[in-house]
Structure 1
Amino acid sequence: MLVDHTPDLGRVVMVVPTYNEADNIAWIVGRLRAAQPSLDVLVVDDGSPDGTGDIADGLAATDPQVHVLHRTTKGGLGAAYLAGFAWALERGYDVIGEMDADGSHQPEQLQRLLTGLLDADLVIGSRWIPGGSVVNWPWEREVLSRGGNLYVRMLLGIKVRDATAGYRLFRRTTLEKIHLDEVRSTGYVFQTDLVTRTLRAGLTVREVPIEFVERVRGESKMSGQVAVESLKRITAWGIRERWARVKGRTTTGRDLVSSR
C-alpha cells in the first residue's frame, strides 16, 4: 500500500522542470500524484517546442493540485528551479522539492526523503551512499559521477556523497536562509551550489538512498561537455575557498557566486 506524505511537514510541492518531455510529463506526474496524493506538483516548462507545456496545462485543468509555470526561453536547470522556488515561497509552501521529469527519480521512493526531512533542513536522494544505486548506466558515466562527487568533497571540504543529485527536499526556512537572490548558476552546477550554501549556513543536510533509473524515453540533457563545465566552476569555488582560509576568513555565499 502506498503511503501518503508525512503530515508533520506541512504543505509540500514538488518542482518538476521540463524541456521537451512530452513523452514523460503525464506519466511522471501521474505516478507522483498516486504515490503522494496530498502534495502538489509544479511543472516549470521552458517553452518546450514539443508541446510539453500544453500537456502540463491539460493535467492542471483536471487536477487542482497540479500547477504550471511557463517560461519563454530555455534558461537552464538552475534558472527553472529558482523560478519554481520563488513561486512556491510566495504561496506559502513549507517544503519545496526537486525532481526530474524523465522517471530517473522514482516517485514511489519519495517517502524516504519526506521521512528524512523530519530532522534535517535539506534531504538528498543519494545514489552513492549504502543502499543507493543506479540502473542502466554505462560504467563510464558511473565513474564520471562518482569521481566528480569525490572531487567536490575534496575540493570544497564537504561530506555529502552525492552533491550533484537532483532528487531533494528543502524546508522553506532553508531556502530563505541561503540567499537565493545571489545564485547565478544556471546549469547542473546549481545542485552543488545549493548544497554548499546550505552547509555554509550551518544547516543540516541528510542523504537517503535511492535507486536512480536512467531514462527510457526522450533525450538526456546531460553531456560530457556539461559535466566538464560544472567541474570547472566547482574548481573555481574550491580555489577561492582555500584562498579565503589562507587569509583567515570564511567564504560567504556572495563570495561563491562572484567566483564565476
Structure 2
Amino acid sequence: MMQLVIVPTYNERDNLGELLEGIYKAVADMHVLVVDDNSPDGTGKLASYLMNTRYKGSLFLIERTGKLGLGTAYLAGFKWALERKYQYIFEMDGDLSHNPRHLPSFLQAVKECDLVLGSRYVSGGGVRNWSLLRRLISRGGSLYSRFILGLPFQDLTGGFKCFRREVLEQINLAEIKSNGYSFQIEMTYRAFLKGFRIKEVPIVFEERLTGHSKMSYRIFAEAIVMVWKLRLDRKRLKAGTDTAQAAPPLP
C-alpha cells in the first residue's frame, strides 16, 4: 500500500526530527515528503541530511526558492505524489500540532471513504493550549463556511487530512489559487461537490510549543472572501467543468 504524508515546512528545524520519529513510529511503512520553502533556520538542510542517512528510501524533499505559501506547497506535493502512484496522500503540519498517533485511525477510515478530515469538533476531538480568541476564530471560521457553502462537516479549516488519489486526480488542481485556511476549505468543498465520500475522525490539536504560528489576519480575511467566491461558483464546480468525474467505487 503506497501512502505518503506531505509536510510543508518553513523554519521547523526544531520540530522536524521529533515529527518524523512520531510518523514512523505510528506507521512504519509510511513515506514522507517535506516541502521546504527555503527556511532560513536550515530545515531543508536537516531534511536533506535525514533523507540521505537515517530515513533513506522513505523520506523525500522538495526544496523551493522562497516562502510561496501553504497552498502551493501542498499542490506541489500532490503533483509529486500522483506522479509516483501513491494511493493515500496525507496533509500534515510540520509544527507538531498534528499528532502522528492519529495516522492509523485515518488509514482505517479511508478504507470506507475517499477523504478523511481530522476534526477538532466531533466527539473525541479537541484543542490544547489555545487562547479563547483562537478558539473563537477557528470554530467561527468553520461555522461560517458551513453556513455559506452548505457543508455538513464540523471542522473545515483543519489541515490534517487523507485523500485517496482519485480525489486529487479528479479535482483540477491547477484551478486552486487559495492558501491557508481557505485552501483547506476549498479542497473539501470541491471534493464534496464531486460526490466523494468524506468522513471526519477526531483529533486533538496541540498548539505549537516552539517557533511562531503561521496564522495571520491576512490569511483569515482571505478565507472570508474565498468562501463567497466558491459559493458563487458552485454551479460550475458541481457541473464538473474542471474535468472531474463521478466518484469511483471502492476497491
Partner of 1:34: 25
Question: What amino acid is aligned across from residue 192 of structure 1 in structure 2?
Answer: I
Structure 1 unaligned regions, length at least 5 = 1-9, 255-260
The partner residue of 2:178 within 172, 185, 208 is 185
Which sections of structure 2, spanning at least 5 residues, go unmatched?
243-251
Contact 1:182/1:253 (8 A) holds in 2: no
SS in 2 for 1:68: strand
Partner residue in 2 for 1:139: 132
The 1-side partners of 2:89 and 2:192 are apart by 18
2: CA distance, partners of 1:125 / 1:111? 12
- Between the aligned partners of 1:236 and 1:91, the Cα distance in structure 2 is 33
User: Which runs of 4 or more aligned residues in structure 1 lie more than 2 Å from their structure 2 counterparts after TM superposition?
Assistant: 235-241, 249-254
- The alignment's TM-score, normalised by the length of structure 1, stands at 0.88
Q: CA deviation at 1:33?
A: 1.2
| Equivalent residue letter for 1:17 | P
**Superposed displacement of residue 29, structure 1:** 1.1
Q: Are 2:67 and 1:97 equivalent residues in the alignment?
A: no
**1:82 aligned to 71, 75, 78, which one?**
75
Q: How does 1:184-203 map to 2 (within 5 A)?
A: 184-203=177-196
1:91 is displaced (CA, Å) by 0.8
Judge conservation of contact 1:21–1:218 (CA < 8 Å) in 2: yes
Contact 2:186 2:230 in 1 (8 A): no
Residue in structure 2 matched with residue 19 of structure 1 by the alignment = 10
Structure 1 counterpart of 2:141, one-letter code? G
Query: What is the total number of aligned residue pairs between the two structures?
Result: 240
Deviations 1:181-208 (A, max 9, x none): 2212233311111000101111111000
User: In the alignment, which residue of structure 2 is the partner of 1:205?
Assistant: 198
Tell whether the 8 Å contact from 1:135 to 1:211 is kept in structure 2 after alignment. Answer: yes
Q: Is the 8 A contact 1:123 1:208 kept in 2?
A: yes
Q: Are residue 121 (structure 1) and residue 114 (structure 2) matched? A: yes
Query: CA offsets, 1:85-104, max 9 Å, x none?
Result: 11111111111100001000
Structure 2 distance, partners of 1:253, 1:220, is 37
Map 1:161-240 → 2, pairs under 5 A: 161-240=154-233
Offset of residue 251 of structure 1: 5.9
**Percent of aligned positions that are identical:** 44
Cα distance between partner residues in 1 of 2:241 and 2:101: 34
Deviates more, 1:184-193 or 1:31-40: 184-193
**Cα distance, 1:238 vs structure 2:** 2.5
Check whether the contact 1:197–1:253 (CA below 8 A) recurs between aligned residues: no
Q: Which residue of 1 aligns with 2:40?
A: 49
Q: In structure 2, how many angstroms separate the alpha carbons of the residues matched to 1:223 and 1:24?
A: 21
Q: Write the distance in 1 (CA, Å) between the matches of 2:143 and 2:233.
A: 18
Give the RMSD, CA atoms, in angstroms.
1.6
